[in-house]
Amino acid sequence: MLNILNSNKKYNVTKLEPRKNIPSKKYICSIYQEITCLIRRYYIQIKRRPSSLFSGIIQPMLWLILFGALFQNAPINLLTQNKTYYQFLSPGIIVFSSFTGAINSGLPLMFDREFGFLNRLLVAPLKSRDSLLLSSIIFIATITSLQTSFIIISSLLIDSKTLSIQQILTIFIILLLITLSIGSISICLAFILPGHIEFLAVMLIANLPTLFSSTALAPLSFMPYWLQILASINPLTYAIESIRYLYYIPNIQYGSYIIKTAWFDFNISNSICLLMIITIICFHFVKNIILYKCD
């Protein structure tokens, strides 16, 4: 008799246990509200300090104007099939501006750590800690898209060139993938590094080597073999070559090869798939880091 009562008790307890991870409208609305409030706070910060927004526009424009003028009389036919070095340089500067904007995305979070505001967020009744990551990523994606849009429009006006809607959408998809992957790495560094001085040091160290180890300033064939290997590992190379092809080839063929690396030949579709894989890996890694640091 006791065995029957115990079995019924176990059955009722397990029967009444709620299933976990059941998304509801209230839960989704709460996460949406958290993300919206955090993004609004970032916009208020950049409204009060607009220098970071304008510096992200001015710096790539200076690179574009100065480097384009410096190598204006260079024998460009030896480098590339473009008519001028400016045409060769502008896609690289567009990707580099997206990279520099994304690598700064962890800096506001680092200042929140130092000023104690992040501790208030962690003890607040947040529905999900993922809202911290998502709000930072969405904010930096919008700001970087605004900066790169200004640079793209300026380069097209200088070159007297137009792009189709398909080309523009593909270019922004590539830039968005670069922003998401690099931005998530920057947020990860904001949780790992001890302070903003170390964060700024990592930014300064990683900025120029990442630029020079890509095909932004010179084609892959002009590099020594060891630098070709580094450029083949660098994700910016595939984004730059894809945008360079979309910029100056009128008839888009996603299956045609645009770059021959030290190991493989890539087309635009392969490059986009590679950037998507890198973005997913970075998101998964950063999410685990945030859960580890916040618990």
Query: Residue 261: pLDDT above 70?
Result: no
- What digits encode the pLDDT tens for the residues 263-279? 777 778 888 888 899 88
Instruction: Calculate the alpha carbon distances from 216 to 50, 108, 204 in Å.
Output: 28, 28, 18
Give the per-residue pLDDT at 83: 63
Going by pLDDT thresholds of 50, 70 and 90, the confidence category of residue 27 is low
Query: Is 155:94 a contact under the CB 8 Å cutoff?
Result: yes
Q: For residue 295, name the pLDDT band (cuts at 50, 70, 90).
A: low
**151: closest CA among 208, 90, 210, 102?**
90
How many percent of the chain have pLDDT more than 90?
A: 0
Which residue would you say has higher pLDDT here, 181 or 160? 181
User: How confident is residue 5, by pLDDT bands cut at 50, 70 and 90?
Assistant: very low
Q: What is the 3-state secondary structure (H, E, C) of 41-110?
A: HHHHHHHHCCHHHHHHHHHHHHHHHHHHHHCCCCCHHHHCCCCCHHHHHHHHHHHHHHHHHHHCCCHHHH
- Computed over its alpha carbons, how large is the radius of gyration of the chain? 24
Q: How far apart are CA 189 and CA 286, in angstroms?
A: 9
pLDDT of residue 126: 63
Which of 180, 144, 159 is CA-nearest to residue 247?
159
Each residue's pLDDT tens digit, 76-105:
555 555 567 777 788 888 888 888 888 888
Listed in sequence order, the residues at least 6 apart from 283 whose beta carbon sits closer than 8 Å to its beta carbon are: 133, 180, 184
Q: Which two tokens stand for residue 97?
A: 């501006």
**Ramachandran angles phi, psi of 72, nearest 5°:** -65, -40
pLDDT for res 103: 86
> What is the residue-wise DSSP string for 174-205?
HHHHHHHHHHHHHHHHHHHSSSHHHHHHHHHH
CA distance 248 to 239: 15
Please report the pLDDT score of residue 125 as a whole number.
65
